[in-house]
Structure 1
Amino acid sequence: MTNKANPATRAARYIHITGVVQGVGFRPFVYNLASDLELAGWVLNSSAGVEIEVVGPDDVLTSFVERLSSEAPPLSRIEQVEVRTIPAADVELPETSRFAIRHSEAREGDFQPISPDICTCEDCLRELFDPADRRYRYPFINCTNCGPRFTIIRDIPYDRPKTTMAPFPMCPDCQAEYDDPTDRCFHAQPNACHVCGPHVWLQNPDHPAALPVGGGGAPPQATPQPRGKAPVPPLKGRGAP
Structure 2
Amino acid sequence: MGGLTDTIEEVKDVVEIPLRESDKETNRFNKHGVEPDTGILFHGPPGTGKTLLAKAVAKETGSSIYLVNGPEIISKWYGETEDIIREIFSNAKKKKRAIIFIDEVDSIAPDRGDTKQFQRKIVAQLLTELDGFEPLNDVVVIGATNALNEVDSAIIRPGRFDRKIKFSKPTQTERMEIIEKITKDVDFGESVDLQLFAESTDGWTGADLSGVISRAVTISIRREGDLVTQDDLFRAIKGAGE
Tell me the TM-score normalised to structure 1 length: 0.29
The answer to which structure has the higher helix fraction is 2
Q: TM-score, normalised by structure 2?
A: 0.29
